Amino acid sequence: MIYRENGQFKTSYGADQQIFPIAQDRWAVIAIIAFAFVGVPLLADEYMFRAILIPFLILSLAALGVNLLVGYCGQITLGAGAFMAIGAYAAYNFLIRVDGMPLLAALLLGGLTSAAMGIIFGIPSLRVRGLYLAVATLAAQFFWDWAFLRIKWFTNDSSSGSVSVSNLDFFGWNVDAPAEKYLFCLGMLVVFGFLAKNLTRASIGRQWMAIRDMDVAAEVIGIRPMWAKLSAFAVSSFFVGVAGAMWGFVHLGSWEPAAFSVDRSFQLLFMVIIGGLGSIVGSFFGAAFIVVLPIFLNQFLPVLGRLVGISISTAAVSHAELIIFGALIVFFLIVEPHGLARLWATSKEKLRLWPFPH
Amino acid sequence: MAFFLETLIGGLMAGMLYSLVALGFVLIYKASGVFNFAQGAMVLFAALAMARFSEWFNAALGGDSLLVANILAFIAAGGVMFVVAWVIERLALRNLVNQEGATLLMATLGITYVLEGVGQTIFGSEIYNIDVGMPKDPVMMFENVFEGGILINKEDFIAALVAACLVAALSIFFQKTSTGRALRAVADDHQAALSIGIPLNRIWVIVWCVAGVVALVAGIIWGSKLGVQFSLATVALRALPVVILGGLTSVPGAIIGGLIIGVGEKLSEVFLGPYVGGGIEIWFAYMLALVFLLFRPQGLFGEKIIDRV
């Protein structure tokens, strides 16, 4: 009834090709962004910011990057954690080794370094594909895990590979309160979200999708597989690298290589698959699901245990968390293999016809 | 020279252990097209079951017959793996037929979490020992050939023998029995196999059972070497380069890949490690596999990839 595009006539090419062609979508997105910038900082408390909102924003950015590669270009990667680490450590090195390096420039340079490494570790994708490629990308993960632990130059000669960044200064704005960190991450995410959306609508995104759907056919119609695949690796690694730098700088403050272990890579891939492959909005859904679910289980299980009258030990809670998390993932994959984004699309379609379903 | 040979043999034996885990991957991938990330969790689960059952049976029997307790425990743990295989097929895989590779991969990751959680809830999460009476003392060999001889770990030697026997038994099973033929038929083409009356679901249960038994053997050997603990689940990550090096669909590939990776890891750690700070084993294996893949994208013995538009 409300969600219907009747009467919205497109009178120019520009109007036809805008990002959100339906006016209701446009206004909803603007309202959500406005609420996130103005409403959320007034409502959320410090715990919300630290435990849920900031991790959600940063990991959505990383999931966006992974989705560009896995969902749009069809190259499965299990090495996203390594590129987060590269972004974080590169940004750290730029920040401490170059005098007067602004925060934003350090983050972006971290992303660019990660993109360069993404191109190098994307080269095997020209020869191998599918699951072989997934395992090949694990090489990046283990190599960089090792490198940041053993090569002291990267960590400025700290003994355990742990480094810390304090005093985040964004063009004179000192980002240190949780709400400020939240706003900073939100700003970055909005910019990068629109960038990703537009990339996938542009010719480069169409090339990626052609390669994903069938690379031989794409090659036949004149798409260069090397350029398309490596550009996907570069752009994806750039996003993931910036997210990694933000994870280290803004969320953790001080970190060690274990923060970007192979578990992080799996987590990012989970987000993309549960959220929906090849969907920008799906990355956000997936990130929200994976960030919130463990916290929810952690809080909810002991309460449930008290209700039934059994006290659960912490070890049992963590095991039960594992079981429920794993089972939910399998359940989700069975009921909706195309992810939460598909559920969202279906419900939008239903809303358009409501209340007359035919 | 003797030192080099010693490292080489150590590598070969470590390689056999990797092959054992890799074998589980290959079996399941061949028969159902699922890249089973849960193999490591299955190894952990089986080893936990084995360790605890053997402890319980030993206590029940009064502690005087370790061998009987171990045999009973082996049978019980095998039964547990059968139940696990059946449940996985029933609850997860049956509902995921025809999904993309990445989705199946993620589903097995989910299964990994469940198995890790369930295993530790039932069997406890401390470090356990498996004592199957493997000799731990090293022996000297070829003392008349080289000066000082070569130091060989008896335990590794027996483990390698067991692995070799298992592989022989598996190949006989695959080549000579009717179930084995059915498995190969399913591996070749699901639909064709269905159309000649091979029950796909039962075959999958059988394959997961076989993979479970392989995991059990791997779990016993790894467990008696390292102790049964959570980190056992990560042997899957060590075995992955073996699988892609040998080819996802080839049983001999898993063995030869395992040997190459085992030797490569040990030699690199001993001769290259000191120059770069050590600990390079794990990524070196991946790099080695990657180099092979650049020349043969389907692995050494994998099925040739044919592109059709």
pLDDT at A358 over 70: no
Q: Is B241 a member of any domain? A: no
Mean pLDDT within A91-112: 91
Mean pLDDT within A155-170: 79
- Interchain CB distance below 8 Å, B96 and A269: no
Domain extent for A243: 21-261
Contacts of B100 in chain A (CB under 8 A): 337
Bridge partners (DSSP) listed for residue A163: A255
Contacts of B241 in chain A (CB under 8 A): 135, 139
pLDDT at A262 over 70: yes
- Interchain CB distance below 8 Å, B289 and A139: yes
**DSSP letters for B57-81:** HHHHTTTS-HHHHHHHHHHHHHHHH
Q: How far is CA B191 from CA B59, B97, B195, B197, B277, in A?
A: 50, 12, 6, 10, 52
Q: How confident is the model at residue B171 (pLDDT cuts 50, 70, 90)?
A: confident
- Interchain CB distance below 8 Å, A142 and B286: yes
Distance CA A179, CA A173 (A): 13
Q: How far is CA B251 from CA A230, B244, B254, in A?
A: 33, 12, 5
Contacts of B275 in chain A (CB under 8 A): none
Cα–Cα nearest to B19, from B276, B222, B309: B222
Estimate the crossing angle of helix B39-60 against helix B200-226, to 10 degrees: 70
- In this predicted structure, what is the pLDDT of residue A154? 86
Round the average pLDDT of chain B to a whole number and report it. 82
Mean pLDDT within B151-163: 77
A314 versus A344: the higher-pLDDT residue is A344
Query: By the CB < 8 Å criterion, does B187 face chain A?
Result: no
B125 versus A246: the higher-pLDDT residue is A246
- In this predicted structure, what is the pLDDT of residue B165? 87
Distance CA A94, CA A111 (A): 11
Instruction: Identify the helix (H) or strand (E) that includes residue A163.
Output: strand A163-164
Query: By the CB < 8 Å criterion, does B230 face chain A?
Result: no
pLDDT at B307 over 80: no
- In this predicted structure, what is the pLDDT of residue B81? 92
Mean pLDDT within A255-276: 89
Query: By the CB < 8 Å criterion, does B237 face chain A?
Result: yes
Number of domains in chain A: 1
Distance CA B241, CA A124 (A): 14
> What is the per-residue pLDDT across B62-110, written as a single tens digit (0 to 9) for each?
766 778 888 888 899 999 999 999 998 888 888 887 777 778 888 898 9
pLDDT at B22 over 70: yes
Contacts of A155 in chain B (CB under 8 A): none
Q: Is A231 a member of any domain? A: yes
| Residue that has been written with the tokens 């274990």 in this structure | A258
Q: Is B174 a member of any domain? A: yes
Distance CA A200, CA B35 (A): 29
Nearest to B309 among A127, A214, A327 (CB): A214
| β pairing state of A163-164 and A254-255 | antiparallel
Range of lowest pLDDT (A4-13, A216-225, A251-260): A4-13
Q: Is B294 a member of any domain? A: no
Q: Is A283 a member of any domain? A: no
**Polymer length of chain B:** 309
Structure tokens at B92: 């997860």
Mean pLDDT within A275-294: 91
- In this predicted structure, what is the pLDDT of residue B147? 59
A64 versus B189: the higher-pLDDT residue is A64
Q: Is B69 a member of any domain? A: yes
Contacts of B117 in chain A (CB under 8 A): 319-323, 326
Q: What is the DSSP letter of B153?
A: E
Q: Is A267 a member of any domain? A: no
What is the identity of the amino acid at B111? I
Query: By the CB < 8 Å criterion, does B103 face chain A?
Result: yes
Q: Is B27 a member of any domain? A: yes
As for the ipTM of the complex, it is: 0.84
Cα–Cα nearest to A118, from A154, A158, A77: A77
In chain A, the percentage of residues whose pLDDT exceeds 90 is 43
Number of domains in chain B: 1
Domain extent for B102: 2-230
Q: Is A15 a member of any domain? A: no
- In this predicted structure, what is the pLDDT of residue B63? 66
Instruction: Please tell me which residue of chain A has the smallest CA distance to B289.
Output: A136
> What is the per-residue pLDDT across B180-224, written as a single tens digit (0 to 9) for each?
888 888 877 778 888 999 888 888 888 889 889 989 988 888 888
Distance CA A182, CA A175 (A): 9
Distance between A150 CA and the closest CA of chain B, angstroms:
7
A53 versus A322: the higher-pLDDT residue is A53
- Please name the residues between 107 and 126 in chain B that touch chain A, using a CB distance below 8 Å: 107, 109-118, 120-121, 125
pTM for this predicted structure: 0.89
Distance between A117 CA and the closest CA of chain B, angstroms:
15
- In this predicted structure, what is the pLDDT of residue A231? 96
Q: What is the dihedral of CA B184, B188, B189, B195, to 10 degrees?
A: -40
Structure tokens at B80: 């547990």
- Please name the residues between 273 and 302 in chain B that touch chain A, using a CB distance below 8 Å: 276-280, 282-283, 286-287, 289-290, 293-294, 297-299
Contacts of B244 in chain A (CB under 8 A): 131-132, 135-136
Q: Is B296 a member of any domain? A: no
- In this predicted structure, what is the pLDDT of residue B124? 80
Nearest to B307 among A70, A145, A216 (CB): A216
- In this predicted structure, what is the pLDDT of residue B139? 67
Mean pLDDT within A253-264: 89
Q: How confident is the model at residue A108 (pLDDT cuts 50, 70, 90)?
A: very high
Contacts of A274 in chain B (CB under 8 A): 106
pLDDT at A283 over 90: yes
Neighbours of A36 (CB within 10 A): 17
Q: Is A126 a member of any domain? A: yes
> What is the per-residue pLDDT across B120-134, written as a single tens digit (0 to 9) for each?
888 887 788 777 666
First to last CA, chain B: 53
> What is the per-residue pLDDT across A77-87, written as a single tens digit (0 to 9) for each?
889 999 999 99
Q: What is the DSSP letter of B302?
A: S
- In this predicted structure, what is the pLDDT of residue A223? 94
- Interchain CB distance below 8 Å, B276 and A149: no
Instruction: Please tell me which residue of chain B has the smallest CA distance to A122.
Output: B290
Query: By the CB < 8 Å criterion, does B87 face chain A?
Result: no
